[in-house]
Each structure stands twice: as C-alpha cells, then as structure tokens.
C-alpha cells in the first residue's frame, strides 16, 4: 500500500502538468489607415497601433505622450504634426476597439 501511495505522490505532479487547456487566440487585423492620410501619417498610424498593442498587453492606461516616437517622431520637422496625427488616431482607435491581433 505504501508503494502505491508513493507512486501516486510521484506521478501526481506529472499528471497535473499535462492538464493544460488550449487557449483560443482571435486574430483581428487592424483597420488600414484612412486613404486621405499621407505616407508620413500612415507611418505614424502603424507606429501608433504598435504602441497601443504594447500598452494594452502590459495593462497600461492609454497615454499617447508616454511614447518616444510620438514625442520625437522619426520624420523631418515639417512632417511632425502629420506623423503625430496618424499615431494619435491609431492609438485611440486601438484602445477604443480593443487590441489588434499579432502582426499586420
């Protein structure tokens, strides 16, 4: 009887470790940038989606100003506002509609 209890005690953790349930992953492609966006605004749009995805994943509250690419856009000075407009719109839309799926 002691052998059976000892064997059960050894096998129980292995049995429980194999009891994982599959996780359903829903992929929803983010919407494309509006057609009236310039190329710079579209770049900001994609960067805004990435930033929002990371914030949502880490459980952070929405704050577009936390992101270095929003504060210091990787574009020439005349295009900064255009980039920020695209970034801000995508960031807000991602938080409003939920996190986009992986990749796009």
**Mean pLDDT rounded to a whole number for the chain:** 82
Q: Are 43 and 75 in contact (CB under 8 A)?
A: yes
Give the C-alpha separation, 66 to 84, whole Å. Answer: 13
Predicted confidence (pLDDT) per residue in 37-51, tens digit = 999 999 999 999 999
Confidence of residue 104 (pLDDT cuts 50, 70, 90): very low
DSSP state of 89: H
Residue 19 CA from chain centroid, whole number: 28
Domain ranges of the chain: 24-97
> CB-based contacts of 51: which residues, under 8 Å, 6+ apart?
64, 67, 69, 70, 87, 91
Quote the tokens at residue 64. Answer: 């577009």
């Amino acid at each position: 009887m002691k052998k059976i209890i000892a064997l059960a005690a050894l096998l129980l953790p292995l049995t429980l470790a194999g009891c994982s349930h599959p996780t359903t992953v829903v992929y929803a492609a983010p919407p494309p940038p509006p057609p009236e966006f310039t190329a710079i605004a579209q770049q900001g749009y994609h960067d805004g989606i990435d930033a929002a995805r990371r914030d949502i994943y880490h459980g952070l509250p929405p704050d577009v100003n936390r992101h270095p690419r929003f504060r210091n856009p990787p574009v020439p000075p005349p295009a900064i506002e255009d980039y920020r407009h695209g970034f801000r719109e995508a960031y807000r839309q991602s938080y409003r509609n939920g996190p986009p799926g992986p990749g796009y």
